[in-house]
A and B are shown apart, each in its own frame.
Chain A
Amino acid sequence: MNYDNQKLIDMLAAEYVLGTLKGPARKRFQRLMLTSNRIREATWMWEQHLNNLASSIKSEPPSDSVWQVISQRIDAKPSVHTVSPEANVIKPKTSIWQAWSLIATAASIVLALIIWQPQAPIQQQTQQIALFKDASEQPLWFIDINEQSLSVKASDKLAARTDKDYELWMILKGQDTPISLGLLPKDGIKSLLKDNRFNAQDIALLAISLEPLGGSPNGLPTEVLYTTELILL
């Protein structure tokens, strides 16, 4: 799909805001929003316009318990007079879907480790990992995050282009601008220096972009190919 076409961007953004863009197309659009100013701006424009439709909906107060729950969920510090100790534990809102997705991803990673390293036992100290797969679920890069570095292994399934480079990015929660983590190996293993902002709790997404040789010319991803989440084990 040609995402340079402004009319197409506008229609996708409109259907995204309306809600009729769904399933994989919706997820793909959300990923594109992370890396494209034009797509973000088109989406904000439609949100601003279409949300005027909400003016016709008559207000209705929710029950009082809603605020109590919100208040408890945002209150990280124990506060004896308002909430019980149990209620102060902030639980990540993990849906069954997300849980299954994590289990499935973890299973893929274990499988990938078995395929790639039949002789080596899975290292006990590994705590943070990521796996990039292509559209047909073939593993492409496996990343093992250590204390000081990111160890990146290219899969033999990877058919890397010789006229391009592949760059790894992290997108921090609440921030629009991706941060480059370095160029990826086209075969074998490469160690990337860990960015001092690399903190598992802050990372919303990892992404790989296709770049001219030498990496992004302007500090931003040129064409995002794959995204994945960091997995904590």
Chain B
Amino acid sequence: MPSTINLQPSTALAGAKRWLLAGIVLAVVVSLFSAQFNRYYLGIAIDCGISIILAVSLNLINGHTGQFSLGHAGFMAVGGYSAAKLTLVCSPMVPDSLKPLLFLVALVLGGCVAAVIGLGVGVPSLRLKGDYLAIVTLGFGEIIRVVVQNMESVGAASGLKGIPKYTTLGWTFALAAVTIYVIASLVNSTYGRGFIAVNDDEVAASSMGINPVRYKVTAFVIGAFFAGVAGGLYAHHKQFLSPTGFDFLKSIDIVVMVILGGMGRTVGVIIAAILLTLLPEVLRQFADYRMIIYALLIIGLMMLRPQGLFTMGQKKKGAAAV
């Protein structure tokens, strides 16, 4: 399935896309043997993939477009719950052979519902900037959590259980690749340069005929869509959803990935997402000291590589990194 993605290398990014294609192929090949892998490592690998989708999609909003959003976990929750509810209702009626199709429909549905919510959040962003926008998006995320916590149809506080296990390594990395591809292509298209223009200088951008309103809302809608897809993957990976998992600390985790990776630099963000997902697991052997070390590492990394962890060169103004 991922191999059917239409890859049209443009000159500057041809190398990157070859690497991307190689990554997808590898993920799919690896997933064929996933039954042989230790479930713990497999689970973490899937977590990494989900983190990549979340971080790359938030990067479109926070990094490329320069809107500071703290509500990504809310979009993830909406997508996760919508997708899980659909599969819970439909899976007894669907024959096994059509289950992957059901899963795909559920993921897309989750993404679309999240995108609608993203539209709702994107509209206030037209009037707000910086910290004010941050607090409003944080507020939206919390409102979503509170509403879910009171919805008996999705289990309210006790959570939604019994979600079928559809998420595999192949699904996750294929969708991560699609996310990266779509967002990178978008930002690097003629249309997409508008995102960066809005980030760099809104006034200048609008005087050049770029409509900042449209770009900001587009960024929120697309970012939310992929966060919703990630939520769907998460739901069918953990097989259980509870509202407390989507509080603002989850949003903060994703923001840290984006900033650590380097705002607007997709490769850095991907690596930061993987690193920050692996780190707490690797640190488990330190038991009591695990999260203390984790916090110190974040501080240390910000001191040593404040421009983002994996930005080898400087970002060229006007050209988005893949």
Whether chains A and B associate is: no
Q: Measuring CB to CB, which residues of chain A are less than 8 angstroms from any residue of chain B?
A: none
